[in-house]
Amino acid sequence: MHLQQLTGPIAYHGEGPVWSPRWGGLQWVDMFAGDVLSLADDGSVRRRHVADLVAAMRPRVSGGTVYAVERGLLLEGADGLLEPLPLWDRPDVRMNEGACDPDGRFWAGSMAYDRTQGAASLYRVGPDRRVETALTGITISNGLGWSPDGTLAYYNDTATHEVSVFDYDPEAGLTNRRTLVRVADDGSPDGLTVDADGGIWTAIADQGAVHRYTPHGRLDEVVEVPATKVTSCTFGGEDLDQLFITTSQEDVDTSQDPNAGSLFRAEVGVRGMPVLEFAG
């Protein structure tokens, strides 16, 4: 396996990488700066400020982008105009991660700033912008992704140290939650992505690694990253055969961990799937 460091420690809290042809490649967020970072073909990085905090983003079918911002969503149109969609007004809870399902809905999850147990929720926003609360009692809502056939969803509430799996149905949503795997040594699963063979790749935020689990929960690949706080990963490149990995400096001693906040790329021998887009 070949791992390459693509940038220096340019993000305080790098998160939420997404590859989309609509964007011309890879984008990710520097969450607490409220910035979106874009990787150019020559390796340079462009930074664009979006909001006070931006936790996740996905392309929209109609053009533009949906962003998960501090207390709701921000809808950017193809014309660049921004429309806020607030979801709550509590100042102690913020957005943390989000993804789209195979039916074009955007799911976004939260966490309390002080990480209060059970204070967070996972929300589902339809193309008609109707908002439903899908899960409650969460502590740190994190990675979410769907199986290649769209019948299963994988989800991380980081504080549980587990990767959960749900049955997925367009009408019922997420049902029949069970544990796919408990991460060894009480590891903290963060962002995740699913490859075209059904493997689940999840960042382990306190172990400097990305794990691949089979759909049966067996660990069959570990990507070791030279930065401790690994936050998320996604497949990209023209053939979706490159795994991009984000890292963070939050709560990290950067004198001991100088690569924290850098972007990495690994060749892992499998391909990912095209990003699911928001139909709203």
**Does any domain span residue 280?**
no
Read off the pLDDT of residues 109-124 as tens digits, 9 standing for 90 and up: 999 999 999 999 999 9
140 Cβ neighbours under 8 A, 6+ residues apart: 96, 111, 115, 120, 157, 158, 159
Burial of 134 (0-12, 13-18, 19+ CB in 10 A): middle
16 Cβ neighbours under 8 A, 6+ residues apart: 28, 29, 31, 55, 56, 57, 97, 98, 191, 232, 246
User: Which helix H or strand E contains 262, and what residues bound it?
Assistant: none
Return the biggest CA–CA distance within the chain: 50
Answer yes or no: pTM beyond 0.85: yes
**Does any domain span residue 278?**
no
Read off the pLDDT of residues 70-104 as tens digits, 9 standing for 90 and up: 999 999 999 998 999 999 999 999 999 999 999 99
For residue 8, pLDDT over 90 is answered with yes
| Structural domain range at position 259 | 2-267
**Does any domain span residue 277?**
no
Contact 56, 69 (CB under 8 A): no
Per-residue model confidence (pLDDT) at position 1? 77
Contact 38, 29 (CB under 8 A): no
At residue 145 the predicted structure's pLDDT band, cuts being 50, 70 and 90, is very high
For residue 137, pLDDT over 80 is answered with yes
**Does any domain span residue 279?**
no
**Does any domain span residue 273?**
no
User: Which residue in the list 30, 101, 190, 195 is annotated as catalytic?
Assistant: 190
Say which residue the tokens 């549980």 belong to. Answer: 160
Q: How many CA atoms lie within 13 A of 177 on its CB side?
A: 11
Task: Residue 145: give its domain's CATH number.
Answer: 2.120.10.30
Q: How many domains does the chain have?
A: 1
**Does any domain span residue 81?**
yes
- Mean pLDDT, all residues of the chain: 97
Read off the pLDDT of residues 10-66 as tens digits, 9 standing for 90 and up: 999 999 999 999 999 999 999 999 999 999 999 999 999 999 999 999 999 999 999
Say which residue the tokens 């195979």 belong to. Answer: 102
**Does any domain span residue 274?**
no
Q: Which of 100, 205, 203 has the alpha carbon at shortest distance from 145?
A: 100
**Does any domain span residue 272?**
no
At residue 165 the predicted structure's pLDDT band, cuts being 50, 70 and 90, is very high
In angstroms, the CA 221 to CA 210 distance is 8
Active site residue 41: no
